[in-house]
Chain A
Amino acid sequence: MLLAVDAIPSRVSKKIIGHLSIVGLCATLVTLIWFYVNEKTGSLFNGMYVLDTMAIYFKIFVVVSTILVASMSIDSIERFPAFKGEYYFLVLMSALGAMLMASANDLVSIFVTLEFTTFGFYILVAYLREDSKSNEAGLKFFILGAFTAGILAFGISLIYGATGKLILTDIAQEIGEPSAALIAGFLLLFAALGFKIGAVPLHTWIPDVYHGAPTPVTAFLSVAPKGAALAILLRIFFVTLSGFSAEWVWLLVLVAIISMTYGNIVAIAQRNMKRLLAYSGIAQIGNVVIGLAAANKMGGESIMFYLWAYLFANLGAFAVVISVAHVINSEEIEDYNGLNRRSPFLAFAMLLFLLSLAGVPPLAGFIAKLYIFVAAMKAGLIALVIVGLINVVISMYYYLIVVKKMYINEPSDPSPVTISPIMTVGISVAIAGTLILGIYPKPFIAWTVDATQMFNHINFITMTQSLTLPFGG
């Protein structure tokens, strides 16, 4: 049943492949929605692989992101020197990997699916063979990725050694008093996943790889694997380790604070659009980790909602970057001067995406951030919320710098920037998503609430307890 869903038509040839793969993905999407609506759930291989509401949620997330990436790739692929057909195959394989990640419920499948996803990207990142930056990025990504795989394997073995179990839910029952080995194991596991989502201090690969990789790949890399990795993180922290939230909350709080602050402050200094988005991505992940740190069901809901907001805004922003780069062959922020005069549509789209990332109403990012903050507040993490709020203001600054370039500055070259129809469609979808999520998020929130039924058991720290500690984390 699952394989049927994941079997995706691919490998025909040339440009049609792109369209075909989009169609295939749409079919997948429909199937997934059908699954969701009819409450099809189940598990395979003794619970190693589960299809619960959350898994479907993340699968849909991955599929939608892949559709958007595919749609924005079509133009770019034409400009690749070689292997145009293979590109889609790799993208789809990675997407498949990410979808499988969303369902992974034991340590081994986590390892396998994660590597499966990453392999695709090793190639994709270095896809532009002639481009030294792309090659450098690929190499860097590969080395760090391999290293991470090692860490992950080591962590898994430690956990297995300590508990004798692999399935996440089973491990939860086995942990009595955590031993040193177990703690080390989970720390290593978290480190490996932290690498995937690019949280500080495991973020170092992100700017260079984002910068060097072909832009559609960067876009894809910034969304799908992160989402899938978060699915795993949610399972680990909220299911396996839910009893120890008091211990790991500190770690996450720290990671969240550092990620947000570092990402936002460094982003201010960026001159390249992709690097700016890379750092902003680090900061966004910091926000997501706030939701994790909240360690309550609402935290889970808010993360999942946040991911959607992030998906539309981030992919949309990259789509604009691709479109602009097609015409002016540059990704420097300086070259966005006067974009409003050259292409009102692109400028407007970029405006919406950036502001959504910054968290300005009525866009999706606003609701998402608020959701996360509310969750954290309910968990009593006031200090964390304060840092998060300060970061909102900081991020406003560099997003607005870009807005200033686009809207206020005059263009050096006033020729209009044209975009292809498929790109327009892709960007429009992202705009629609950003707006609808912002203005009428009710069904989406309901969906996340439904998808996180499995976390209902978590006893989170209540506000009343926490507020007795003044500004305690």
Chain B
Amino acid sequence: MIDTWLLPLILFAPVFGAVALLFVSNQQRFLVQMIAAGSSFISFILSFYLLYAYDHTIGGYQFVQRFEWSENLGIAFSLGVDGIAVPLVLASSILLFTGTFISWHIKDRLKEFYISLLILAAATIGVYVSLDLFFLYFFYELSVLPMYLLLGMWGSHTKSYNEMKDTKKRDFVGFILNFTSNSKEYAAMKLVLFLSAGAVVALLGILLIYVGSGLNTFDIPTLAKHSEFSGTMATIIWLLIFFGFASIAPLWPLHSWSPVGHAAAPAATSMLHAGVLMKLGHFSIIRVGYEILPEATRDLMPIAAVLCVFSIIYGGWVAYSQNDTKYVIGYSSSSHMGYVFLGMAALTYVSLTGAVLYMFAHAMATGLLFALAGWVYDQTHTRDIPSLGGLSKKMPFATGCFVVAVAASFGLPGTVSFIGELMILLGSWNKYPVQTIIAVLAIVVTLAYLLRMLRGVFFWEPGKTIPHETELKWAHVQDTNGFVNRMPLLVMIACTIYFGIFPGQFIDVIGSSVEPLLAKIHGGTESGVLP
């Protein structure tokens, strides 16, 4: 019984939460918080159940639910997960649940915030569980708008934007041109336009698949099984699908919206954005590109292997030179997404499994980083690293969590990121040794900028001209305290470490779907697949 309704429940619990919130007043803060927490908790728990209930000995799509939506157009509301989707669903619901608590203290329009957040998370989960191209795209698009509102309404300007005195210039520069001195509105708009542009490119590909296959269906398993495309057609479609979805991933050079968006967004949004929204891109490429166009994938995926190097290097390099905590994390995310592309491009069992695992790992690590950056921002009202420093005395708990987050982010052994990284590198070496070496060295860069940030925010203290200067400066700063503030951090830490030490279930689940997929891509001959 629970298995029948598992996916709909995971997907719709946040939606119902959002709908319920519509009828609650902002005055009843506690009720608002409880509804949001409750509905996300349902998804959270059920996603864990999903991970362990997924039978990896069978593999394939499980928990499939299908409701005809329009026979005429060949659309069905078809839900199901394979091993690749399971970890991502889990990551989404973990980040939603923790994000709900991270946002507990938002003062302005809390109800609207939670509605947007819940819809955003539901949309990402929706992409992961959709077995129908139409609904995949449907949820994909649906995720864009809440992002706009979350950034625009509850976001924050960058420091240099705030420092601009001339208001006219400010509007102009902040909105249209500028980059590190952008306003939140600029970030929100840029994000939406980039995502929509990427989405419509992908949509064109989807429509070509739909029409070109002549099957009159959007059903992914059917299309994967029966559709055939000529070489040129397959190439065109694949390129559309790839670049359309890669823009959300975000692959260099389509990445620029992402750090800007991170910087403007409130903490919980950044968590979801970096944690799961970006993975929609990779996931959709796998789900649509790999499943439906295996030959084109085999021939064209080297593009990703080339571009991912730029992602990795450029992201790392820019991250190192930023002074805004969220920019650092944002660029680090786009750098880390290069690893996922590398793993995907190598097309081996180990690398692809690693890439999927790394997506989950990155979700946890970045979630933590953004949550803590958000906490620091809430307490100090600045994200500027040079203006911070010496916070470790005032917030030891947060400092400790941040250390774990740094460790998880650069892939310290014992965290799940390490396993993911290791598998990506292991699987990619034979095919792309140069990229692998670059990726490995970039880990050092990652650690360098993360430690720089760690030091700049928590440890470093400016020259002590005035005694107790930092004590006075941070007199009102508090550590994360109480259940509400600490629980989400601990949940993410626990997931990072637990799955870092016991990744078995994950790898089995992911592998069960990666294996047939690769067999298809490699034509079953030189699959390099482990039994």
| A residues at B contact (CB < 8 Å) | 301, 340, 344, 355, 360-362, 366, 370-371, 373-374, 377-378, 382, 385-386, 389-390, 392-393, 396-397, 400, 403-404, 407-408, 440-442, 445-446, 449, 463-464, 467
Contacts and interface: CB of A to CB of B under 8 A. Distances in A.
Interface string B192-230: 110011001101100110111010000000000000000
Per DSSP, are chain B's interface residues mostly helix, strand or loop, or mixed?
helix
A403 B138 contact: no
A150 B52 CA distance: 74
Contacts of B149: 403, 407
Task: Point out which of A340, A361, A407, A464 has the most chain B C-beta atoms below 10 A from its C-beta.
Answer: A361
Contacts of A340: 109, 112
B210 A407 contact: no
Nearest to A466: B211
B477 to A, nearest CB: 28
Given A392-B196, A393-B197, A442-B68, A463 B214 contact: yes
B185 A397 contact: no
Contact of B142 (A360, A373, A385): A360
Contacts of A393: 193, 196-197, 200
B196 A396 contact: yes
A361 B138 contact: yes
A396 B149 CA distance: 14
Contacts of B148: 400, 403
A403 B144 CA distance: 14
A400 B233 contact: no
A262 B144 CA distance: 25
Interchain residue pairs A-B with the least CB separation, the first 5: A389-B200, A408-B152, A377-B211, A361-B138, A377-B207
B193 to A, nearest CB: 6
Interface of B: 68-70, 72-73, 109, 112, 134, 138-139, 141-142, 144-145, 148-149, 152-153, 184-185, 188-189, 192-193, 196-197, 200-201, 203-204, 207-208, 210-212, 214, 233
A397 B196 CA distance: 10
Given A361-B141, A449-B72, 4 more contacts: A377-B208, A404-B152, A464-B214, A467-B212
Contacts of A445: 70, 72-73
B204 A389 contact: yes
B212 A392 contact: no
Given A397-B189, A445-B72, A362 B138 contact: yes
B299 to A, nearest CB: 19
B193 A396 contact: yes
B153 A407 contact: yes
Contact of A390 (B68, B134, B141, B200): B200
Contacts of B70: 441-442, 445-446
Nearest to B148: A400
A362 B142 contact: yes
A467 B138 CA distance: 26
A403 to B, nearest CB: 7
Task: Point out which of B69, B72, B73, B138 has the most chain A C-beta atoms below 10 A from its C-beta.
Answer: B73
B152 A370 contact: no
Nearest to B184: A408
A312 to B, nearest CB: 18
A412 to B, nearest CB: 15
Given A407-B152, A445-B72, A449-B72, A400 B138 contact: no
A407 B141 CA distance: 20
B153 A392 contact: no
B145 A408 contact: no
Contacts of B203: 370, 373, 389
A335 B149 CA distance: 19
Given A393-B200, A396-B192, A442-B70, A374 B141 contact: no
Contacts of A404: 152, 185, 188-189
18 contacts: A360-B141, A360-B145, A373-B207, A374-B210, A377-B207, A390-B200, A393-B197, A396-B192, A396-B193, A400-B189, A403-B152, A404-B189, A407-B152, A441-B70, A445-B70, A445-B73, A446-B70, A463-B211
B129 to A, nearest CB: 15
Contacts of A385: 204, 207
Nearest to A462: B214
Nearest to A443: B70
Contacts of A397: 189, 193
A192 to B, nearest CB: 33
B233 to A, nearest CB: 7
Contacts of B144: 360
A441 B68 CA distance: 11
Contacts of A355: 145
Contacts of A441: 69-70
A441 B144 CA distance: 22
A466 B214 CA distance: 13
B200 A392 contact: yes
Contacts of A407: 149, 152-153
A374 B211 contact: yes
B210 A377 contact: yes
B118 to A, nearest CB: 14
Task: Point out which of A301, A390, A400, A445 has the most chain B C-beta atoms below 10 A from its C-beta.
Answer: A400
